Amino acid sequence: MSAAPLRVAYLVNQYPKVSHTFIRREILALERAGVEVHRLAMRGWDAPTPDADDAAELQRTHHLLRGGLLPLLWATLRVAAAAPRRWLSALACTLRMGWRADRPAPVHLIYLAEACAALLWMRARGVQHVHAHFGTNSTAVALLLRRLGGPPYSFTVHGPEEFDKPEFLHLGEKMREAAFTVAITAYCRSQLMRWVDATHWPRIAIAHCALEPTFHQGPAVAPAGRQLLCIGRLSEQKGHLLLIEAAGLLAQRGIDFNLVLAGDGELRAPIEARIAELGLAARVRITGWIGSHTVRELLLQSRALVLASFAEGLPVVLMEALALRRPVVTTWVNGIPELVEPGVCGWTCAPGDVDALADAMHACLQADEARLARMGEAGRERVLAAHDADIEARRLHVLMQASAGGDDLAAVVAAMPLQTRKVD
């Protein structure tokens, strides 16, 4: 007789989301590994889903806020009446986290109500472990859920947002209460180690964001042409305005190129304005939000991927580009050097340095096809070795199973390699 599958709830602030394909890939890989995954999000039922896979995930996801506040209040009353001491403990925790927090105290009371509703929803489904993504509000709800008597929880930290305001997010408390914490890079793990006592370090594991095999399967297409591609939300941390300045320098040098910005966001208007001011309208275009299938097509049509980021975790788009044999031009921030080695699979430069970025883009455009092909192959090998969705999901499965079974998580993490790349 086969054992019953592990029942896990994924708790995310917004799901599905165009920029969170890595969460979808992780969930689907866990399901392939035999885990029963329940999707639970605060919001996202009305978000655009240009990707068909995200549209399918939307139908599988329960959204806590979709019914408004009345169901949350009813759930709060039920939980408080059934276990008043636990509820008061959770309330005290809520008020403490709401003090000197990134969000005002009344918002944290909503987190408590969401935790009450989530508790009833998970009990009805026999959930044994909760996993949240990002050390922000979803993990606050997971912590309160645990205080109310819910299952043990874990959460994945990506950065850089969590590292901008760790004290206001109460990141240390969330880690201390968690069964384990997941970092997506060694750099990320090192930053988490700053906010808890050394006794908690053994419960910080590394599990990379990853790609499913279907994304990078198919006949090899060598990088060629003059198109450079940037994929990402049009936001401050991605450095798009600096990228446009670098494109302007290339145009001044008489370099033949075109640049595609795939994505959308709050900085679209100023980016479009700067494109017009520099006379780059014929060279630079913005696609708006696109799905993962279109991302793949654009990558295959491009010579290289360019990211001018000021802050990152480890962008999945770098993995996607390298997996498709596309070298990358990027900055050397945070976890990026763990994947991208200059001269081997791309070019790197100092963040915020427009001249260095323009020079790196120029070098990419000057490289002959043989060199581009070598870089593309080297990048693909790196990604396939360390960012396979099924391998990373098995790591998470082991950790979640140990949590549900009450095992020693520090010992389980210690038995796993940290998966860091050796620097020669």
Q: What is the DSSP string of 123-171?
A: HHHT--EEEEESSSHHHHHHHHHHHTT---EEEEE--SHHHHSTTTTTH
- Token pair 């390298």 is at which residue? 322
| pLDDT tens for each residue of the chain, 424 residues long | 457 899 999 999 999 998 888 999 999 999 999 999 999 999 999 988 878 889 999 999 999 999 999 999 999 999 999 999 999 999 999 999 998 888 888 999 999 999 999 999 999 999 999 999 999 999 999 999 999 999 999 999 999 999 999 999 999 999 999 999 999 999 999 999 999 999 999 999 999 999 988 899 989 999 999 999 999 999 999 999 999 999 999 999 999 999 999 999 999 999 999 999 999 999 999 999 988 889 999 999 999 999 999 999 999 999 999 999 999 999 999 999 999 999 999 999 999 999 999 999 999 999 999 999 999 999 999 999 999 999 999 999 999 999 999 999 999 999 987 654 433 3
314 touches 246 (CB < 8 A): no
d(CA 77, CA 66): 19
d(CA 312, CA 233): 12
Per-residue tokens: 393: 């999901």
Domains of the chain (ranges; CATH) run 7-210+389-414 (3.40.50.2000), 213-386 (3.40.50.2000)
Report the length, in residues, of the chain: 424
pTM (2 decimals)?
A: 0.92
